[in-house]
Structure 1
Amino acid sequence: MSFRGLSLLLPLALPVTLLGTAPAPEPVRLEIALTGLRSSDGNVVLCVWHSPKRFPDGKCEGEGTPLTVAAAPVVQVALPLAPGDYAVSLIHDENGNGKLDKNLLGIPKEGVGFSQNPKLMFSAPTYAATRFDVAADTTETIRMKYFL
């Protein structure tokens, strides 16, 4: 290609290049307020999900942002996030073993909670039932649920 041909393509390539360099959106603050803990034993393990993939596996591996905080009468956590759709799952790991303990029937022996506080029946809720939009600073209040 001649220099002249290249100079004709340059004005067309410049807008495409500029489109790919848009700045990332400013982070917003997600505050998670937890209610209903039955004790201050152990930890609360939170997972902030940005995708329905593998939701909720309890470990937050690869698809979410994990966070562990000490259990207390009042638990509040604030996180900076990019605007978008999210869901939160959490467990009250009372014995501190890093996992959700269940009985022989698979019923959780420790507390669980999800954003949007969906009604829990015989399985974990879907991402769609727990998702919420974070477009500006947002507070999500989650009630812990205990089955045993």
Structure 2
Amino acid sequence: MKTIAVLVAMFLGSLVHGQAEKTGSISATVPNVTSSNGEVLFAMYSEDSFMKKEPEFSVKSEIKNGQATAVFENVPEGNYAIVVLHDENGNGKMDFDAGGMPAENYGTSGNSMIYGPPNWGDSNFDFDGTDKEMEIRF
């Protein structure tokens, strides 16, 4: 009986270990930063947190030769969206002009060119846990 219990425990342990979540890295590049002022902020969200909570991952990037790049490490497979902001004055948030329009450039992983705030439907992508490179344009 002990032998059966040990075999069952080993089998269950191998099932749990065999189903370990795949993780990888996502490299996101913004190739069209218009000035070298400030930094570029990258935020990666799940659908539950999108534009409502803190992102699951965030990275600040320097601007070099009109380009900014961020690498998100150890990202579990899933569905995500990346929002990018050129924080020209370094205050850590998006600034708006007197008319309520964004005063700093932004973009999303869907590269949609709509007016208004980013939305999940146009921005999300599937990540299978293997390393991924993407380009996001302002």
- 1:111 matches 2:70: no
The CA deviation at 1:45 is 0.8
Deviation per residue, 1:19-75 (Å, 9 max, x gap): 4444533432211110221101001111011x1124125xx61x4211111223222
The CA deviation at 1:119 is 2.4
Query: Percent identity among equivalent residues?
Result: 26
Q: Aligned in 2, Cα 1:53/1:84: closer, same or farther, shift over 3 Å?
A: closer
Q: Which residue identity does 1:119 align to in structure 2?
A: M
Runs of 4+ in 1 over 6 A off after TM superposition: none
Partners of 1:52 and 1:110 lie apart in 2 by 24
Partners of 2:68 and 2:48 lie apart in 1 by 27
- 1:47 matches 2:43: yes
Indicate which of 37, 53, 72 corresponds to 1:79: 72
- 1:30 matches 2:26: yes
Where does the alignment leave 5 or more consecutive residues of structure 2 unmatched? none
Contact 1:93 / 1:99 at 8 angstroms: preserved in 2?
yes
Contact 1:27 / 1:83 at 8 angstroms: preserved in 2?
yes
User: How high is the TM-score relative to the length of structure 1?
Assistant: 0.74
User: How high is the TM-score relative to the length of structure 2?
Assistant: 0.79
Computing the radius of gyration over CA atoms, which structure comes out larger, 1 or 2?
1
SS in 1 for 2:136: strand
The CA deviation at 1:129 is 1.6
The CA deviation at 1:13 is 6.4
SS in 2 for 1:143: coil
The root-mean-square deviation of aligned C-alpha atoms, in Å, is 2.6
Which residue of structure 2 aligns with residue 126 of structure 1?
119
